[in-house]
Amino acid sequence: MTGARLNGVDADREAQLLFRVIDTISAGLDLRQMLQGVATLVTETTATDVCFVHLLDEKGRVLRLHGATPPFDSLVGQIELALGEGVSGWVAEHGEPVVILDDKAADPRYRYIPALRGEEFISMVSVPIVTPLGHLVGVLNVHTRARRAFSGADVELLRTVAGLVAGAIENARLHRRLAEREEALESFAERIVEWQERESRRLAGEIHDGISQRIVSLFFHLSAAADAIAADPALAAEQIGRAQELAAGALDETRSAIAGLRPPVLDDLGLAASLDSLGHSFPGLDVRVDAADLRMAGHVETAVYRTAQEALQNVAKHAGAQSARIRLSQHASRVVLEVSDDGSGFDPEAQRAASEPDRGMPRPTGLGLSGMRERAELLGGTLELISAPGRGTTVRLAVPFTPPAFSGPLPDHRGTPG
């Protein structure tokens, strides 16, 4: 920073401005409060009338007003400029400062924005807000009502302030992204726990209502057989026969409960062949299967298989379809499953409205879509439902590809559609 004077503002006051800016950006304020404070300091110390801070969005396409001195502070978040639009857009696009002494309207780069009342201000300086690594994050503007001959030293001072602000903006954005990620991970963990609890309750219910009841009956029949062996062999044989039936039923229910966790067919055949076998298990449907032979982590294969299974069950029960098709493919880092049918279809918006809570009680859809969506989200994927009356339905699941040997952290649940 040079020791040059800023139109009568001495070097001591310039240094004071920079120290106060550093204090403001180090105070732990949120981004908006910090930018408001910096804008106020700039106008007070440089004897300018208004200051605007426009930040470039994270896609690098739009400048949005994020800080302004009164009375324009109420417009924060409402003023936008495309990259290259207006003086600020030009500065952002070229990375160079602009000084206009008067007659802004004659400058081809200037764009009049009624809400900012540009006609009230004669002179302006616009400087890029650039990090030490050269990353553009926005533009800082100051305006004066009286004509003002801004010097090179004036511009350098404002660029120094902008450089200090740039680092604070980057830190604030990084902190926000980290906070959002932590919140997302907490939510993800809560949903994992809820899912596990729900599965535990389901298994407990199946064991209590099915398997345990059969075992209790089995005990009574065996006890009766033991008591009747000497006195009534025929009755004992009958009781043993019933006990065998109960034991077979309990074994079937045990297998079913285990299959509810991971279908054994996946271990026996692999995912592609399991989907083909699944298609043949619906005799009322002509199911064509086009599945790539993909090997993935067990929990991903189970989720894909379960989604296909539930989707085909919906087709068989609700679609009135004659044929269906299962497609499994890999696109870059994502696996895509599509289950489509030639059935009656429906209006997804009407279906969504029907499933919304009514007086606190949700209306059941009977389609099991919420479970499929939740399963997809837990894997960091998405589930789409594409349908229209008379045009059939397609269920599309897209999840991150996770190889079998994967042993790292769970995928980010906010994944984008494939």
Is the per-residue pLDDT at 326 higher than 60?
Answer: yes
Whose tokens are 């553009």? That residue is 136
- Please say whether the beta carbons of 240 and 225 come within 8 A: yes
Task: For residues 183 and 200, give the distance between their C-alpha atoms in angstroms, rounded to a whole number.
Answer: 26
pLDDT at 343 over 50: yes
Which pLDDT score, from 0 to 100, does residue 116 have? 92
Q: Token pair of 395, please?
A: 């269920």
pLDDT band at 2 (very low <50, low <70, confident <90, very high): very low
Position 195 scores a pLDDT of 64
Contact status, residue 22 vs residue 38, Cβ threshold 8 Å:
no
Identify the band that residue 193 occupies on the pLDDT scale cut at 50, 70 and 90.
low
Residue among 12, 10, 5, 42 nearest 24 (CA): 42
Instruction: DSSP for 101-155, please give it.
Output: -S-GGGSTT----GGGTGGG--EEEEEEEE-TT--EEEEEEEEESS-----HHHH
Interior/surface letters 78-109, b for 16+ CB within 10 angstroms, e for the rest: ebebebebbbbbbbbbeeebbbbeeebeeeeb
- Tokens 């500065």, residue located: 91
Q: Is the pLDDT score of 145 beyond 90?
A: yes
As to burial, measured by CB atoms within 10 angstroms (0-12 exposed, 13-18 middle, 19+ buried), residue 366 is: exposed
For the cut 90, the answer to whether the pLDDT of residue 52 exceeds it is yes
Instruction: Judge if pTM exceeds 0.85.
Output: no
d(CA 359, CA 298): 41
Using DSSP bridges, classify how beta strands 136-144 and 80-82 pair: parallel, antiparallel or unpaired. Answer: unpaired
Residues 102-122 pLDDT 10s = 998 899 999 999 999 999 999
β-bridge pairing 323-331 and 62-68: unpaired
The tokens for 418 are 């494939």
Calculate the CA 133 to chain-centre distance: 29
Q: Which of 136-140, 238-242, 325-329 has the lowest mean pLDDT?
A: 238-242
Positive or negative torsion for Cα 95, 52, 54, 176: positive
Q: Which of 190-199, 328-337, 388-397 has the lowest average pLDDT?
A: 190-199
Residue range 25-50: average pLDDT? 79
Q: Name the token pair of 307.
A: 């989604």
- The answer to whether 306 touches 375, Cβ cutoff 8 Å, is yes
Q: pLDDT: is 248 or 55 the higher one?
A: 55
What angle separates helix 31-46 from helix 152-206, to the nearest 10 degrees? 170
Residue 5 pLDDT > 60 = no
Q: What does the pLDDT average to over 354-362?
A: 44
pLDDT at 409 over 80: no
Res. 351 pLDDT band, cuts 50 70 90: low
Give the pLDDT confidence score for residue 358 in this predicted structure.
45
Task: Confirm if 181 and 146 have CB atoms less than 8 A apart.
Answer: no
Share of the chain above pLDDT 70, in %: 76
Residue whose C-alpha is closest to residue 58's, from 172, 205, 190, 165: 172
> Which of 29-38, 102-111, 126-135, 372-381: highest mean pLDDT?
102-111
- Max CA pair span of the chain: 121
| pLDDT tens profile 260-283 | 556 777 877 888 998 998 888 888
pLDDT at 78 over 70: yes
The structure tokens listed for 45 are 């110390």
